[in-house]
């Protein structure tokens, strides 16, 4: 489960601001499926099937319009109400068994 799942948006923001200040000038690794968490990272590594498939900043990955961008838009659509069509996704993710 996501460690911040029980936090409200304000508490989550404050937590990551504090972590950001504590890790300034250091390498910190966050593993998350929540794009609100990862989008502010200096570098994002996107894994699929255990392999690195995309790497960059949030802006670079959005311009690439690959898997990261499609999943970001899908997650954001829950907040914006924007409809995402299934054929726009084509994520090639592993099936859940």
Structure confidence at residue 68 (pLDDT): 93
**Percentages helix, strand, coil for the chain, rounded to the nearest 5?**
45, 10, 45
Strand ranges (DSSP E) for the chain? Answer: 44-48, 51-56
**pLDDT (tens digit, 0 to 9) for every residue of the chain, 97 residues total?**
566 778 888 888 898 889 889 989 999 888 888 887 788 889 999 999 999 999 999 999 999 999 999 999 988 887 666 665 555 555 555 433 3
**Domain segments of the chain: what residues?**
30-89
Does the model's pTM come out above 0.95?
no
Structure confidence at residue 35 (pLDDT): 82
Distance CA(48)–CA(51), nearest Å, equals: 5
Q: How far is CA 23 from CA 13, 18, 27, in A?
A: 15, 9, 7
Residue 1's nearest CA partner among 29, 30, 33 is 33
Encode pLDDT of 43-71 as tens digits.
999 999 999 999 999 999 999 999 999 99
């Amino acid at each position: 489960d996501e460690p911040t799942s029980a936090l409200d948006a304000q508490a989550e923001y404050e937590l990551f601001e504090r972590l950001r200040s504590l890790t300034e000038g250091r390498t910190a690794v966050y593993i998350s499926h929540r794009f609100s968490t990862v989008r502010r990272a200096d570098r994002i590594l996107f894994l699929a099937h255990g392999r690195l498939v995309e790497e960059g900043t949030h802006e670079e990955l959005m311009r690439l319009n690959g898997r990261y961008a499609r999943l970001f838009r899908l997650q954001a659509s829950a907040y914006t109400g924007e409809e995402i069509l299934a054929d726009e996704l084509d994520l090639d993710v592993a099936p859940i068994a």
